[in-house]
Amino acid sequence: MPEILVTVYDVFMRTYPGFLEATVVTLQLTAIGVILGTVIGLVFALMKISGSKILQAIANIYITIIRGTPLIVQIMFLYFGIVEIYTMSNFWAGAIALGIHNGAYIAEIFRGSIQGIDPGQREASMSLGMGRRQTMSRIVFPQALRRSIPPLGNQFIITLKDSSLVYIIGVAEIFSLGNREAAQSYQPFESFMVVALYYLVLVMIFTFLLRLYENKLDVDKA
């Protein structure tokens, strides 16, 4: 067992410059995927709670398709579909695929947070003369945003791990580099152990930061 740990350490020391660069790519993919997914999710959440049956149907179809198909299939479908129409780097194709995938889950997060606000607050605000838009922007959205922070944080961590799937289209992120190192060094166990350590450290850091942010906002009282 100690010999294995020594070998893992050797692999780590030999590959850390490349893995640090790959970590930056992974974080960029994750950030773009979450930001784009948040925008898409908010739009489709509003469509789903709107009074329009057409908008609700569009939102339901989007969410059903995205949640019902594997992310790796979506990445391949989007990548090869986009390059047929528009020249795009594999990085941006992967980031957009992550954003579209996240959008379906974030839409449900926002929808649940918005509909979870006590309807009595809306009635009270409207009785004071506020319109629907003012009620949503001043009363509902601020509370819904605070309630959505914990599941959004979890979605960020899920996206961080899901970003490993973009290796399939040649993006040089953490898993891709680990896969290449395993093939070149003939040390698959040690190489993927190093990969696991990088993901574990990143997840632990972001979990810690998320807890600090939640405590600062005192989310449980939202």
Q: How many domains does the chain have?
A: 1
Is there a domain that residue 15 lies in? yes
pLDDT per position in the chain (222 positions), as tens?
Answer: 566 666 777 887 888 888 999 999 999 999 999 999 999 999 999 999 888 899 999 999 999 999 999 999 999 988 888 777 877 889 999 999 999 999 999 999 999 888 877 777 666 776 666 666 777 766 777 778 888 888 888 999 999 999 999 999 989 899 999 999 888 888 888 899 999 999 999 999 999 988 888 777 765 454
For residue 83, is it within any domain?
yes
Asked if residue 222 is part of any domain, the answer here is no
Instruction: Show the domain range for 117.
Output: 3-217
3-state SS, the chain, equals CHHHHHHHHHHHHHHHHHHHHHHHHHHHHHHHHHHHHHHHHHHHHHHHHCCCHHHHHHHHHHHHHHHHCCHHHHHHHHHHHHHHHCCCCHHHHHHHHHHHHHHHHHHHHHHHHHHCCCHHHHHHHHHCCCCHHHHHHHHHHHHHHHHHHHHHHHHHHHHHHHHHHHHHHCCCCHHHHHHHHHHHHCCHHHHHHHHHHHHHHHHHHHHHHHHHHHHHHCHHHC
Q: What is the CATH number of the domain that holds 97?
A: 1.10.3720.10
Residue 188 lies in a domain: yes
| Residue 128 belongs to some domain of the structure | yes
